[in-house]
Amino acid sequence: MKKIGNTINQDDNFLVREDYHKNLIRKLEAELKKVSLGGGETAISKHKAKGKLTARERVELLIDNNSKFYELNSLAAYGMYEEYGGAPSSGTIFGIGKIHNRNCVIVANDATVKAGAWFPITAKKNLRAQEIALENRLPIIYLVDSAGVFLPLQDEIFPDKEHFGRIFRNNAIMSAKGIPQIAAIMGPCVAGGAYLPIMSDEALIVQGEGSVFLAGAHLVKAAIGEVIDNEKLGGARVQSNVSGVTDYLMKNDEECLLQIRSLIEKYGYSPAAGFNRIESKMPQFPINEILGILPEDTTKQYDTYELLARIVDNSEIDEYKAGYGKSLITAYARIDGWAVGIVANQRNLLKTETGEMQVGGVIYSDSADKAARFIMNCNQKKIPLLFLQDVTGFMVGSRAEHGGIIKDGAKMVNAVANSVVPKITIIIGNSYGAGNYAMCGKAYDPRFIFALPNAKIAVMGGNQAANVLMDIKLGQAKKGGKEFSETEKQKLLSEILNSYEKKNNPYYAAARLWIDEIINPIKIREHISISIETANCNQEIGVFQTGVIQT
């Protein structure tokens, strides 16, 4: 066991960094508050005038008193669909909450946003909710209140593999796997959307609010000439007492939510995965010092050990191959009592045993080889993996190529791809190129992936990308016989850089679900702990396949 960390000198540089990150946190909190209002105060007032609870009020009543709802993808659709008036949080709320002390996935349509209509990203968000339920064998509750597909964008939500129909396929798969699904019909439920609640294991419907049918009254009249209103066609009493489509007829939202709690309270328990946990110990150093350790500029260096010292229990680690492959830190530790295997990019300038200087945040051959072996060890010992990304990519150049960087990088990527223990990824700063892949980016199926407010996710850094694109544009212009002045070149470079920077920030990533949530750096421990607790619900851990990793 190795103690890490030092008392930080809170000098001017520390205070500048701290202020920078506090401002980022203030912006994050403001944006989260804004999207939490859904369609806005006026839409909320109209919704409540119907005697209905809002989506967030429903979730709050459903979960245990004094427990926390861990919302995910809250910034889905951020800055998207502006031509249609926007879709705050994609018109759907989802996350993990405790019901009778049991972790459940909860999905709630927000009818204050375009009557709960499904945008393309809404479907992707619902699929992510189902994925979390599947991977972790969690009960999933759908609080349905939706007008169905947003028709102007139907071509982007209807026919493909990861579109609307995949949700019903997942309903069937989860039922077959014994993962409980409950749906509460608390508003309209139309056409294809009617399958989601009815393909769940049990369905409740609220009288006077809920309705479910394949075609509404207007379409029925147009299609077959029958004249009927929606209530008589597929209202709560009809679907419960006449068709038998729904299982429980509820007087109002409150009774419906209490009934769901009563059903879940009687569920049996499956064996847990058995991840190691002991009594939690706080780090030896204040967690809020993270804000002064992380630089305000992601190109600057810092000591990752100081960051770890404010995350891991008692500021202690068992470091694997401490003197080898130093651009990656691989270590066993505990976070909130949970045993974890940590793979973290070291952002300090490093001196090797041969006196060579290595750039922090770059993965070298020896580091990649070390990480691959460490990941295998964690799989053998059934220890969840935590990836702390602040990576600019793999080392390039003749020396790296001659040393087999591609081969060693492939070993690491193979190990990450085949890992069967839960993987949790937090993007601390940079997440560029193949480094994103090797450090378990979204494409490598982390159980959960978070980013700090200063994170940058792109193929390469902004300056490098801007210069590459600039050279291409200048070359094209030269072929056409055009020359740029220095002023024009600088203006063009600035435009390219601004466009690139707009797309590599965490809000852009969160809007498109490349990450599950942007989180406050001070709450890193809390998010890691709930992630492992959630993963611990699933006892089905597969067998690690070594593939091409052997050397």
The pLDDT assigned to 549 comes to 47
Distance CA(9)–CA(12), nearest Å, equals 9
Q: Find the mean pLDDT for residues 516-523.
A: 98
Distance CA(542)–CA(421), nearest Å, equals 8
- Of 157-166, 246-255, 322-331, 542-551, the one with minimum mean pLDDT is 542-551
- Of 75-79, 118-122, 336-340, 492-496, the one with minimum mean pLDDT is 492-496
The pLDDT assigned to 395 comes to 83
The pLDDT assigned to 8 comes to 92
The 8-class DSSP code of residue 235 comes to B
The pLDDT assigned to 353 comes to 66
Q: Which residues contact 282 (CB under 8 A, 6 or more apart)?
A: 313, 314
Distance CA(495)–CA(488), nearest Å, equals 11
The pLDDT assigned to 551 comes to 43
The pLDDT assigned to 232 comes to 87
Q: Which residues contact 94 (CB under 8 A, 6 or more apart)?
A: 71, 72, 73, 105, 106, 107, 108, 125, 126, 128, 129
Q: Find the mean pLDDT for residues 363-376.
A: 95
Q: Are 430 and 459 in contact (CB under 8 A)?
A: no
Most confident region among 23-37, 194-208, 386-400 by mean pLDDT = 23-37
> How far is CA 223 from each of CA 113, 148, 150, 212, 348, rounded to the nearest angstrom?
29, 19, 21, 18, 69
Strands 248-250 and 202-206: parallel
**pLDDT tens, residue by residue, 342-364:** 999 999 877 666 667 677 789 99
Distance CA(190)–CA(144), nearest Å, equals 11
* CA nearest to 430, candidates 289, 299, 307: 299
Q: Residue 548: pLDDT above 70? A: no
Q: Residue 251: pLDDT above 90? A: yes
* Radius of gyration (C-alpha) of the chain in whole angstroms: 26
Percent of the chain with pLDDT over 70: 96
pLDDT tier for residue 550 given thresholds of 50, 70 and 90: very low
- Of 162-166, 234-238, 459-463, the one with minimum mean pLDDT is 459-463
For the chain, give the mean pLDDT.
Answer: 91
Q: Are 425 and 439 in contact (CB under 8 A)?
A: yes
Higher pLDDT among residues 418 and 543, named by residue: 418
Percent of the chain with pLDDT over 90: 71
Burial of 14 (0-12, 13-18, 19+ CB in 10 A): middle
Q: Residue 547: pLDDT above 60? A: no
pTM of the model: 0.93
Q: Residue 459: pLDDT above 90? A: no
Higher pLDDT among residues 543 and 343, named by residue: 343
The pLDDT assigned to 157 comes to 87
Q: Residue 219: pLDDT above 90? A: no
- Of 227-231, 366-370, 384-388, the one with minimum mean pLDDT is 227-231
Tokens for 298, please give them: 């992601």
Three-state secondary-structure class, residue 513: coil
Q: What is the DSSP string of 376-405?
A: HHHHHHT--EEEEEEE-EE--SHHHHHTTH
Q: Where are the alpha helices (DSSP H) in 112-206?
A: 120-136, 165-176, 195-198
Q: Residue 466: pLDDT above 70? A: no
Q: Are 456 and 523 in contact (CB under 8 A)?
A: no
* CA nearest to 109, candidates 76, 75, 143: 143
Strands 448-451 and 517-518: parallel
